[in-house]
Amino acid sequence: MTRKNTICLWFDRDAEDAARFYAETFPDSAVGDITRAPGDFPDGKQGDVLTVEFTVCGVACVGLNGGPTFR
């Protein structure tokens, strides 16, 4: 069965740490592509992690460092 959905989890700044935690904790889990900011922006700087693609128990996920603005 092909999965068509991806779970998106919003973080203030800890998406990469969370993805690595999930990958170490659950079977069939891994960290994939990490997208970093190409330049400085209002709430961050060049190189900050923006998104992290990962799987948890084979389920596709994306961690998004979106900040606390929309809490």
pLDDT of residue 56: 98
DSSP letter for each residue of 11-47: ESS-HHHHHHHHHHHSSS-EEEEEEE-SS-BTTB-TT
For residue 1, being part of any structural domain is answered with no
For residue 67, being part of any structural domain is answered with no
Q: What is the residue range of 34's domain?
A: 13-60
pLDDT of residue 4: 82
For residue 47, being part of any structural domain is answered with yes
70 has pLDDT over 80: no
User: Per-residue pLDDT tens for 17-60?
Assistant: 999 999 999 999 999 999 999 999 888 899 999 999 999 999 99
Q: Based on the structure, what is the number of domains in the chain? A: 1
For residue 21, being part of any structural domain is answered with yes
For residue 25, being part of any structural domain is answered with yes
For residue 37, being part of any structural domain is answered with yes
Contact 4, 10 (CB under 8 A): no
**Mapping DSSP to helix (H, G, I), strand (E, B) and coil, where does residue 36 land?**
strand
